[in-house]
Structure 1
Amino acid sequence: MGVTDPAHVGTSARLTTRPWQAALIAGLLAIVVAAPSIRNGFVADDQWVVANRQVLEQPPSVGAVLKEPYWPASFGGVMWRPAVISSFALDYRVSTSPHWFHAINVLWAVVATALFTLLACDLAGPVVGLITGLLFAVHPVHVEAVANVVGRAEMMAAAGYAAAHLCAVRAERKPAYLAGVAAGAAFAIMSKEIAVTLPAAVLLVLWARRADLRLAWRAVGAATVPIVAYFIIQGLVGIRTLYAGGLAVGLEHVGFFARAWAMVRLSLDWWRLFLFPAHLSADYSPGELTVSTGLTIWHLLGLLIWLGAGVVAWRTRRTIPGIAIGLAWMVITISPVANIVFPTEFLIAERTLYLASFGIVLALACAVSAIRSPRLRISVVAALVAAGAARSIARIPAWHDDETHYQALKHEAPRSYRTLWLNGKDEFAAGHWGSGEQLLRQAIAFAPSLAGPRYDLGTFYMRAKLWQPAIRQLQAAVAVDSAFEPARDALRQALQAAGDTARTR
């Protein structure tokens, strides 16, 4: 029995929904949900990656844009995403308004949703495909990718990823589609490095469809070649760093197995965001999250959930294989941001779950389609779509501007070291030195290996002419980041002001 057999999806064989109709309906819903984001401005990372970036506004040449790193030189000039950078440069040819950039983001949300709907139709039939597309279009975890301009990287990579799979499936009948697999892979990897998992996902899908083994490996090869070429070219253009901000705070100096164990606990938030995304946040950092390599009840709960997911996948691999495929897809596509094989700069970020969420909504759609009562099935889908759309639309304004985003951050992640750090600086700026000092010390306690909060506290001490406390904080800042020149300069000034000329040399 194949993965698209009607027996797997209840009444799908008796319904006449066609794949293109399912894709159209899901795409239209994606427009409705994402359209309010057009009112947003440039927020957070947009300010450094997109806004007022001369090489994008007035590019000297096409080659200069293609060689431009994703992060500007002031942020280390790291990461190479030529497809996304080129799309921003093209946007500037039309308008400098952030509303135009957001309108293009809405378009990419529609494209990705439609392509994933078609892929779900290929995997489990048009009814499951339609339900998958509807759930994908409204999933609240996508808001950060859609409503923030830099989130375009997630959607472009996902679109290329889905297109490569669609071509891989069609290559079963026409091998010429293997060229489409390669093109989709190239576009995806040039949009974001998360596409490195594409060959494994292609193998999963073709294995699930029981495709000819030789064809499956040819498709895997077609997906692999552009990805390997990307990393070779990346080195040739002189951009070698895969992440911009160093290791995630809380995971520094932690080995492979300890990281994996710490992420077992943190993965509970992945499941919550996939299945119960009522609470959303732009920040998941120490203070708000606890990084632990010990044995806690939360680790045991995490293990239990992963084991349960494995059992569900195994038990449904023949009866409702779409569930097993979806869960396996999630494991494959979340691996680059799981801080296990590839350590990253963050513990959890909602926008990085965009690609992996397809696996979850596919599994949910297959489970819902197995409900025997048509009325109950429709009611469940309607309730899920309505709840997802309402939460997504309500969340979009949090990304309207920097001040709104900051206020949302204080509400959503009040204990995060980032929030405490920013609040502390605000308190100092307002003349509330006591509370400012307390907040910065709390931030330092949650992120002791980070130089920034120590540097800021040290400079505030310098303004108050509290030289010895300033020296202690600045020395600690230099100790954790010897390359942080502002801390070195401030330390020399503090030592000189304190009369300690011996240590200023």
Structure 2
Amino acid sequence: MNAPPRGRGGVSPLAAVVIALLAIGIFANTLGHGFAYDDRGVVVDNPTVTDGDPMAALSAPWWSAEAGGGRLYRPATQAALATQWRVFDGSPAGFHVVNVGLHVLVSLLVAVLIATLLGHLSSHVDARRTTWAVLAGATVFAVHPVHVEAVANVVGQAELWSAVGVLTGALLHVRTRDGDAVTRVIGTLGLAACVALAFGAKESGVTLLLLLVLLEVGRARGVGGWLGVARREAPRMVLVAGVVGFLLFVRWAVLGGLAGEDVTTVLAGLSAPARWLTVLPVWTEYLRLLVWPVTLSVDYDPGVLFPATGPAPVRVLLGGIVLAGAIAIATLGWRRNRTAAFGVAWFLVTILPVSNLLVPTGSLLAERTLYLPSVGLALVVAGLVAEIPVERWVPTGGSRALVGGLAVVLVLLSARTWTRNPVWESSATVMRDLVEHHPESWRAQLARAQGLAATGDHDGAAEAYRAGLAALPGRYSMVLAAGIYFKERGRYEEARPLLEQAVDLGPDRASSWRHLAELELLEGRFREAHRVAATGIGAAPPTGPLWAALAEAYAGGGLLEAAVRAKRVSLRLGPAAQRDWARLADFMEASGADPQVVADVRRGVDAGAY
């Protein structure tokens, strides 16, 4: 195998082919998947994507309005999804091809990063050891099971595009920082574009700024060295920070604020120290998922990760030990193995935005969020392999043992990834796996309730909804789903407190206002229905169903012309079925509209024109 030139960050063609083939092969069984889980709210039911206009993503939130709009802004990923919808005509196969292609690209970028950092941080490592280190680190990354959620699920493109931006930006910085003036200018402009892609794809892409600082740590020597680095890199860092600042301003303009997604129930209202104690046990899960990813789950909320009442003290202690150990290795291990120490530092920096240590987020842990941080694991593996003396790689028994050991690790990781991929084939397969392995999860109880309701076992469904509500009290999705179910079953007394709670939990979500307004309509409380619908229209992104509820409230109160106007707005916002146009005709006829116009609308309904 040809070795890359030391210090140039090269990856031999054969090594690149091996890495790419592994990345493709291990996820080949995802290409027939459909849309699953969050794909519906982000892709399938999101007009920003299904209209196929990538420019619309610049002014739209990540989630569809009916799904709540949310407080996430990812224009780069959403523009890519809209483009794919147009190119592939909504076929999920095309999206999954893109996912696998992006994973191949990221795996190759990881290989180049390993070779580059070995050349800059570990000058004693020769070309042959670099080749083996690149292969070991990049192949572990390419086949790691913790990446299944990001690669096998379409919405995982947020992780993939962000990783492309971060890795390309880091490489551009290292390769152009010592060049001539023209090279540095080109590198700086390219770096600004990478930051825009990384941060525009997902919020955690902002960590590229800290990674650039880390990349300079190995070159500075003493105070004078730091000052020299600061002076030389200041223009580059200022431009990059300016790009981030501009994107934050756009985010504020689109979402009306800078805060991220709704805080997960278990962290809501906690002080910072209390929050830190609650999330420390997650660090043991980080370690387990990286080094022993046998058990994987779509849900790590309380009840799965630890009891809903909170983590046990011993879990808090172990998590603290893992975190402290990682910090110690990243700092004290720098003199002994810079590449491995940098890998640990990479993990610490890139996991920070989703760790809940700085600010609370919408989840305690999600496997997809480990995609970019796991580059750190690849660097650690590469750094350790690079320290094995060259003579160990000659064809001896020891060499065969080392190669055999790496092969066994890759086979085990690959097998777990291959067997995990089918779980993400559809929403049904995701929920089936969750119910089977984590029945204690509120999401599992929700899936069980929906399944029982579909079979007509409404007593069992009601029991499952109540169990889900008890598993994690105050979870918006669970509260709303239970409220809708009881409303549709005519159990209004049970539905009302749940739908009112949903409005309190998600005041900017149109769906909760809509269903509470519909409950008021079902009980004949038209004035209250009008109040709820009108308040929701002022508080949440506009949706057709919410305006339709307002139209029904007007009609129930005898304000038929207002009902016609509201119904027209709901039809314009969509989605609109034939029955919605028929209802408009009813309102028009009752309000005394021109009979010919009403007849034209009804003929259109009868002909299926709407």
Band the TM-score falls in, shorter-chain normalisation: 0.7 to 0.9
Partner residue of 1:322 out of 330, 339, 342: 339
- 1:362-419 deviations in Å (ceiling 9; x for gaps): 1122224434544233223212222111111111111112222221222233211111
Residue 426 of structure 1 is matched in structure 2 by: 451
TM-score by length of 1: 0.87
Match of 2:428 among 391, 394, 403: 403
Aligned to 2:146: 141
Whether the aligned pair in 2 keeps the contact of 1:160 and 1:185 (CA below 8 Å) is yes
Amino acid at match of 1:370: E
Tell me if the contact between 2:492 and 2:519 (Cα under 8 Å) persists in the aligned partners.
Answer: no
Decide whether the 8 Å contact of 1:168 with 1:178 is kept in 2: yes
Q: Which moved more, 1:135-144 or 1:368-377?
A: 368-377
> Structure 1 residues 86-95 or 159-168, which shifts more?
86-95
1:195 aligned residue: 205
Structure 1 unaligned residues grouped into runs of 5+? 1-10, 498-503
The match for 2:608 is: none
Contact kept? 1:261, 1:293, Cα under 8 Å = no
Note if 1:386 corresponds to 2:386: no
Counterpart among 339, 347, 364 of residue 356 in structure 2:
339
Equivalent-residue separation in structure 2 for 1:63 and 1:441 (angstroms): 43
Asked if 1:114 corresponds to 2:108, the answer is yes
Q: Which one is further off, 103-112 or 417-426?
A: 417-426
Greater shift, 82-91 or 459-468, is seen at: 459-468
Contact 1:330 1:358 in 2 (8 A): yes
Partner residue, 2:573: none
**Does structure 1 conserve the Cα–Cα contact (< 8 Å) formed by 2:496 and 2:516?**
no
Tell me if structure 2 keeps the 8 A contact 1:316–1:324. Answer: yes
Q: Kindly provide the amino acid, as one letter, of the partner of residue 101 in structure 2.
A: L
Residue 196 to residue 18, structure 1, CA distance change in 2 (3 Å): closer
Say if 1:172 and 1:50 are closer, same or farther in 2 by CA, change over 3 A: same
Matched, 1:450 2:475: yes
Deviations 1:203-223 (A, max 9, x none): 102212448513344443343
Q: SS state of the match for residue 335, structure 2?
A: coil
1:84 aligned onto 2:101: no
Aligned-partner SS, 1:50: helix
* Aligned equivalents of 1:56, 1:479: Cα separation in 2: 29
Change (3 A) 1:464 1:200: closer
Distance 1:470 1:137, change over 3 A: closer
- Cα shift at 1:356: 0.4
Instruction: Report what 1:206 is aligned to.
Output: 216
**Between 61-70 and 25-34, the greater mean CA deviation after superposition:** 61-70
CA separation of 1:432/1:311 partners in 2, compared to 1, >3 Å: closer, same or farther?
Answer: same
Distance 2:338 2:309 in 1: 35
In structure 2, relative to structure 1, the CA distance for the partners of 1:306 and 1:234 (3 Å cut) is closer
Residues 264 and 362 in structure 2, CA contact (< 8 A), matched pair in contact too = yes
Greater displacement, 480-489 / 36-45: 480-489
Alignment partner, residue 299 of structure 2? 283
Alignment correspondent of 1:272: 288
- Please, which of 67, 79, 87 is the counterpart of residue 75 of structure 1? 67
Q: TM-score, normalised by structure 2?
A: 0.73
- Structure 2: any 5+ residue segments left out of the alignment? 120-129, 394-398, 526-531, 533-610
1:95/1:254 Cα in 2 relative to 1: closer, same or farther (>3 Å)? same
The answer to which structure, 1 or 2, has the higher relative contact order (CA under 8 A, 6+ apart) is 1
Aligned counterpart for 1:33 among listed residues 19, 22, 26: 26
Structure 1: distance between partners of 2:6 and 2:382: 17
Is contact 1:477-1:487 (8 Å) kept?
no
1:485 corresponds in structure 2 to 513
Amino acid at match of 1:199: L
Q: Cα offset for 1:255?
A: 2.0
- With over 3 angstroms needed to count, the CA separation of the structure-2 counterparts of 1:370 and 1:435, relative to structure 1, is farther
Distance change in 2, residues 1:385/1:53 (3 Å): same
Cα contact 1:280–1:412 (8 A) shared by 2: no
* Residues 67 and 32 of structure 1: CA distance in aligned 2, closer, same or farther (over 3 Å): same
Relative to 1, partners in 2 of residues 1:182 and 1:294: Cα closer, same or farther, differing over 3 Å?
same
User: What is the CA–CA distance in structure 1 between the aligned matches of 2:504 and 2:385, rounded to whole Å?
Assistant: 55
Residue of structure 2 equivalent to 1:5? none
C-alpha distance in structure 1 between counterparts of 2:7 and 2:171, whole Å: 22
Shift of the 241–413 alpha-carbon distance from structure 1 to 2, 3 Å rule, reads: farther
| Farther off after superposition, 363-372 or 268-277 | 363-372
Q: Once the 2 structures are TM-superposed, how far is the Cα of residue 451 of structure 1 from its aligned partner?
A: 4.7
What is the one-letter code of the residue matched to 1:201? Answer: L
Residues 283 and 320 of structure 2 are in contact (CA less than 8 Å); yes or no, is this contact kept in structure 1?
Answer: no
* Contact 2:480/2:499, CA 8 A, preserved across alignment: yes
Kindly state the Cα deviation for residue 307 of structure 1 after the two structures are TM-superposed.
2.3
Separation in 1, partners of 2:441, 2:198:
32
Deviation at 1:12, TM superposition (A): 9.8
Q: Which amino acid aligns with 2:428?
A: E
Q: CA RMSD in A?
A: 3.2
Q: 1:412 aligns with which of 434, 437, 458?
A: 437
Name the CA shift for 1:40/1:231 in 2 (closer, same or farther; >3 Å): same
**CA–CA distance in structure 2, aligned partners of residues 167 and 396 of structure 1:** 33
Tell me the alpha carbon deviations over residues 103-133 of structure 1, each in whole angstroms, 9 at most, x when there is no partner: 1111111111111211111112533233211
Match for residue 261 of structure 1? 277
Q: In structure 1, what is the Cα distance between the partners aligned to 2:79 and 2:497? A: 46
Deviations along 1:344-376, one digit per CA (max 9) or x if unpaired, are: 111111111100000122112222443454423
8 Å contact 1:34–1:109 — kept in the other structure? no
CA drift of 1:420 comes to 1.1
- 2:541 matched to which residue of 1? none
1:171 CA drift (Å): 2.1
Equivalent position SS for 1:19: coil
Could you tell me which residue of structure 1 aligns to residue 98 of structure 2?
104
Correspondence for 1:4: none
After TM superposition, list the pairs within 5 Å mapping 1:129-278 onto structure 2: 129-174=134-179, 175-176=184-185, 177-210=187-220, 213=229, 214-238=231-255, 240=257, 242-244=259-261, 246-278=262-294
SS at match of 1:356: coil
- Asked if the contact 2:102/2:161 (under 8 Å) is kept, the reply is yes
Cα distance change, pair 482–64 in 1 and its aligned pair in 2 (3 A): closer
Residue 596 of structure 2 corresponds to none
For residues 38-92 of structure 1, the C-alpha deviation after alignment (integer angstroms, 9 at most, x for no partner) is 1111111112222254443444x66434333322222333432222122122223
Cα separation, 2, equivalents of 1:233 and 1:14: 43
The answer as to whether partners of 1:123 and 1:209 remain within 8 angstroms in 2 is: no
Change (3 A) 1:425 1:167: same
1:488 maps to a residue whose letter is L
CA contact (8 A) 1:440 1:457 kept: yes
- Letter of the 1:113 partner, please give it: S
The alpha carbon displacement at 1:450 in A equals 2.7
Match for 1:72: what amino acid? Answer: S
> Do the aligned partners of 2:20 and 2:108 also contact (CA within 8 Å) in 1?
yes
Q: What letter matches 2:471 in structure 1?
A: F
* 2:299 aligned counterpart, secondary structure: coil
CA distance in 2, matches of 1:461, 1:49: 26
Using the alignment, how far apart are the partners of 2:502 and 2:164 within structure 1? 42
Q: Which amino acid aligns with 1:108?
A: L
**Farther-moved stretch of structure 1 (333-342 vs 231-240):** 231-240
Aligned amino acid, residue 155 of structure 1:
L
For residue 500 of structure 1, what is the aligned residue in structure 2?
none
Deviations 1:184-208 (A, max 9, x none): 1111111111111111111102212
Q: Contact 2:73/2:255 (CA < 8 Å) preserved in 1? A: no
